[in-house]
Structure 1
Amino acid sequence: MSHQDTRPVVKYLLFVFNFLFWLFGIVLMGIGIWALVERESETSINSYVDFFTDPSIVLIVVGALAFILGFSGCVGALRENCVLLTIFYVSIAILFLIEVICGIMAFALKGKFEQEANDIVETSIMRYRQPGYEDLTNFIDFSQRTFECCGAASSYEDWTKNKYFNCTPSNPSLEKCGVPYSCCLNSNTEQEIINTQCGYNTQRLSVVEANDKIYTVGCVEALLDEIKTKSYIVGVTVIMVAAFQITGIVLAYVLCREIENEKERYEHSSRARLN
């Protein structure tokens, strides 16, 4: 098959690839903006911890990045614009390289990675139920129910860092020394009426006693255990994401090279006619 035959195939494959990527970015941004508007409060990002504990901002940033890259790839493919195509495949290649480096660092510096993750979870616990963090509160409850966990490194005792569940004598809250209902063993069951008081006074219990009422595994540990248990699913997902990115890089690079080769052939033939 000649270059003239393959170029349209590569062009429209790349367009479809980027159109889906572009739509994905719009969906993520839409969800993030909706969550941000719904909570009706100001957002302050002063550190990476602030960023990772604000799900709406994470969705908006990731969605915006996918939107920009998808748009560049779509327009670049349709208009056969090598500048936009180069921006697209170089950006995807940089992202892919960053992902590989982060994966290697997470494996090599496992202890440091777990500590950073625990810091993020602890900060999230402190912000639980605070005005402006409603989406974070929902995300924490969802995560604790899904992974059957409670708290960070110190498990359910970490909830004393939250002002509503703080175990100090001066805390006037009725939930003092308790944990959220999402830590309870029956929080995953579909009930018409949820017992939101099931975690009351559980911080005063020993691990053996608490085991009968709430989850006693920290959420970072539970997540890592889940990854180990379903390593084949994680592996397949990683391979699919990598294949998706590499496919985009190859298609954009090949199309760009074919466009440049076509320009060179046209210029060569124009010079030949003039001569």
Structure 2
Amino acid sequence: MAQINTCLKRTFTIFNIFFAIVGGVIISLALLAQFSTSFQEGGNLESRVNGLFGLYIVGAIIMVLAILGAYGAHKESRVALIVFLVCMVLGCLVMFRYAVPVAVMRPQVEGMMEEKFRNYLPLDENSEDVKNMADNLQKTFHCCGLFSYNDWKNIPESCKCNTEEEEEGKCQTVSYRYLMERSTSVYTQTCFPIIMHYFLLGFDIVLGVFFTLAILALLGMILSSVMIHQMRYPNRPPILLTVSTVFSTSPPKYEELYNPPPY
């Protein structure tokens, strides 16, 4: 005889299917990131490998837990459901442990990033890696300098506009000194706002993933707890709610009033 309510079992199965899809999406994002970064040379290769490895691990753990939960509900295995419950409790605590500090730090990110990037100025006097990074940003996003074209003592070619861009109003004419006074047309837009836009976008995505996983873990914890409770007390009779006699539709019963005799 089934010990778990059929509707609850189906709800828990649908939850685990969705949970497995989330794990598959995370693994797919890791594969996409690995494919897109495999053509890039240089950079911090070790940090990229560690990040991708972490995504693979998280996605695989989520899919294994989803399979474990679905198996426990289908077979009504108390051991599988208890293991699933423990993992959900730990997962919920870990996700909130990282999500809350990240959410608190969110308003301070732009100021911290600006302070960090101002240490790179002037760009000409920095390392080759920084100069190459700035050049690539300027070529990709059609911007000049991090905060201003004055971030360069000698304005590079990646800052300069072509005739078509000048006609579109994306450029400004500036003067700079390099052996003699010169003027050139450079991009009006600076690179730091673009960097912050994409950085905050990634920041918000990570924050959303943390809270989504925490909420899913909390929901899985509640569902598995209810099923374990039903398996522990399979023969408990259902609780029936009875309507009070105050709201009864039957006519009231009258009692004879007894008046004591006077003395």
Scaled by the length of structure 1, the TM-score of the pair is: 0.53
Change (3 A) 1:23 1:117: farther
- For structure 1, list consecutive stretches of 5 or more residues without a partner in the other structure: 46-50, 131-135, 161-166, 168-176, 190-197, 270-275
Aligned length: 212
The alpha-carbon distance between structure 1 residues 113 and 41, as it changes in their structure 2 partners (threshold 3 A), is: closer
Q: In structure 1, how many angstroms separate the alpha carbons of the residues matched to 2:69 and 2:219?
A: 10
Distance of aligned partners of 1:32 and 1:108 in 2 relative to their CA distance in 1, 3 Å threshold: closer
Confirm whether residue 26 of structure 1 aligns to residue 18 of structure 2. Answer: no
Query: Identity of counterpart residues, as a percentage?
Result: 13
1:75 aligns with 2:48: no
Q: Tell me, in whole angstroms, the C-alpha distance in 1 between the residues paired with 2:208 and 2:44.
A: 34
1:216–1:87 distance in 2 versus 1, CA, 3 Å: same
AA partner of residue 262 (structure 1):
Q
Cross-structure match for 1:264: 232
Shift of 1:252: 1.0
Change in Cα spacing, 1:111 to 1:24, as seen in structure 2 (3 Å) is same
How many Å apart are 1:227 and its aligned residue? 10
Does the 8 Å CA contact 2:26/2:59 hold for their aligned counterparts?
yes
1:213 aligns with 2:186: yes
The change in CA–CA distance for 1:27 and 1:241 in structure 2 (over 3 A counts) is closer
Residue matched to 2:246:
none
Q: Unpaired runs of 5+ in structure 2?
A: 73-79, 166-170, 237-263
Report the counterpart of residue 6 of structure 2 in structure 1. Answer: 5
Partner of 1:15: 16
Report the structure, 1 or 2, having the larger helix content.
1
Given the alignment of the two structures, is residue 126 of structure 1 paired with residue 126 of structure 2, yes or no?
no
In structure 2, the residue corresponding to 1:29 is in which secondary structure?
Answer: helix
Distance 1:115 1:11 in 2: 48
Correspondence for 2:221: 253
Provide the rounded CA distance (Å) in 2 between the counterparts of 1:89 and 1:106. 26
Query: In 2 relative to 1, CA 240–128 (structure 1 residues): closer, same or farther, beyond 3 Å?
Result: same
8 A Cα contact 2:12 2:70, kept in partner: yes
- SS where residue 213 of structure 1 aligns? strand
Distance 1:37 1:126, change over 3 A: closer
Greater strand share, structure number:
2
C-alpha distance 252-125 of structure 1, shift in aligned 2 (>3 A): farther
Q: Name 1:133's counterpart in structure 2.
A: none
CA distance in 1: counterparts of 2:109 and 2:40, whole angstroms: 36
Deviation at 1:115, TM superposition (A): 2.6
- Would you say the 8 A contact 2:4–2:231 is kept in 1? no
What does residue 98 of structure 2 align with? 98
